[in-house]
């Protein structure tokens, strides 16, 4: 369908004898926030790895903006307009916040191998330009005052924002967030929820996110897919998912239904 920025058709991913994904189909509507939930080991991160072409599915196809990208090299994915963050935050430890963001912009730069070494005027100009852009981005996400701090010295919530901002530097159309709220305290989670909604609008994004926190998912997603043992067991609106007996049995558990 034209309105789907991402279409995953009948994805099966086997690791030897383990079937991590079993015939999973899902669509992501343009400009939506779509959730992917399920218990640990359900295959959520594997699905992200397949979507971003870090893994080639055993069976099935991935379409991004109507284009079949199955089997593409991972480095070809970012220029198409897809960016992701990781379940465990991946920032460059010894670099500042600003430098981490600059790396996000670097993929657009074309210079020859010797230019950074000799620091040619062309290289220096490009570096200056990237720095300006990185600053602008930090301003947009309210992290400007942290620009010169070491990224890994920030609070967990702020590090998450830096990682998301670095993904934004690549000008994605589709942003994939793997458990962005994991490890956050309740107030950080609420702030992150607003932050995600904000960047979705200001950067014109479509978002697919994996999350464990049900309140978070229910509060932010228009559509939710549920995986269990590699199979899609449900899809629907937050209201539909909350009521779905399969989901309650597999995922929510008694404690969560009460709470």
Ligand X SMILES: Nc1ncnc2c1ncn2[C@@H]1O[C@H](COP(=O)(O)OP(=O)(O)O)[C@@H](O)[C@H]1O
Q: Which residues bind Mg ion (CB under 5 A)?
A: 44-45, 87
Distance separating alpha carbons of residues 105 and 130, to the nearest angstrom: 6
Smallest distance from the beta carbon of 178 to ligand X, in angstroms?
8
* Cβ proximity to ligand X, 15 vs 92, nearer residue: 15
Burial 58-91, CB ≥16 within 10 A → b, else e: eebebbbbeeebbebeeeebbeebbbbbbeebeb
Distance separating alpha carbons of residues 73 and 69, to the nearest angstrom: 9
Q: Which residues pair with 235 in a beta bridge?
A: 225
Smallest distance from the beta carbon of 225 to ligand X, in angstroms?
12
Range 100-119, binding ligand X (CB under 6 A): none
Smallest distance from the beta carbon of 143 to Mg ion, in angstroms?
26
* Cβ proximity to ligand X, 84 vs 146, nearer residue: 84
Using the rule CB under 6 A, is 250 a contact of ligand X? no
Distance separating alpha carbons of residues 91 and 166, to the nearest angstrom: 9
| 64: nearest Cα among 52, 54, 74, 75 | 52
Q: Three-state SS for 166?
A: helix
How many residues sit in the footprint of ligand X (CB under 6 A)?
Answer: 11
Range 8-67, binding ligand X (CB under 6 A): 15, 18, 20, 38, 40-46
* Cβ proximity to ligand X, 42 vs 192, nearer residue: 42
Residues making contact with ligand X (CB under 6 A): 15, 18, 20, 38, 40-46
């Amino acid at each position: 369908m034209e309105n789907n920025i991402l279409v995953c058709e009948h994805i099966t991913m086997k690791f030897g004898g383990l079937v991590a994904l079993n015939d999973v189909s899902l669509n992501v509507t343009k400009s939506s926030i779509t959730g992917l939930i399920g218990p640990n080991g359900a295959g959520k991160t594997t699905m992200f790895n397949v979507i971003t072409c870090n893994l080639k599915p055993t069976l099935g196809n991935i379409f991004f903006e109507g284009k079949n990208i199955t089997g593409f090299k991972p480095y070809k994915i970012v220029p198409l307009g897809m960016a992701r963050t990781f379940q465990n935050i991946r920032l460059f430890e010894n670099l500042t916040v600003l430098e981490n963001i600059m790396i996000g912009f670097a993929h657009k730069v074309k210079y020859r191998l010797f230019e950074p070494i000799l620091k040619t005027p062309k290289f220096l100009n490009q570096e200056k330009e990237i720095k300006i852009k990185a600053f602008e981005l930090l301003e947009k996400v309210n992290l400007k005052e942290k620009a010169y701090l070491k990224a890994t010295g920030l609070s967990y919530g702020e590090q998450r924002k830096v990682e998301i901002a670095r993904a934004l530097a690549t000008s994605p159309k589709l942003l994939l967030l793997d458990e962005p709220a994991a490890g956050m305290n309740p107030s950080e989670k609420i702030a992150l929820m607003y932050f995600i909604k904000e960047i979705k609008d200001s950067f014109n994004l479509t978002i697919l996110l994996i999350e464990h926190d049900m309140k978070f998912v229910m509060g932010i997603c228009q559509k939710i897919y549920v995986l269990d043992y590699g199979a899609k067991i449900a899809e629907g609106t937050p209201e539909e998912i909350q009521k779905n007996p399969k989901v309650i049995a597999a995922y929510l558990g008694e404690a969560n239904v009460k709470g």
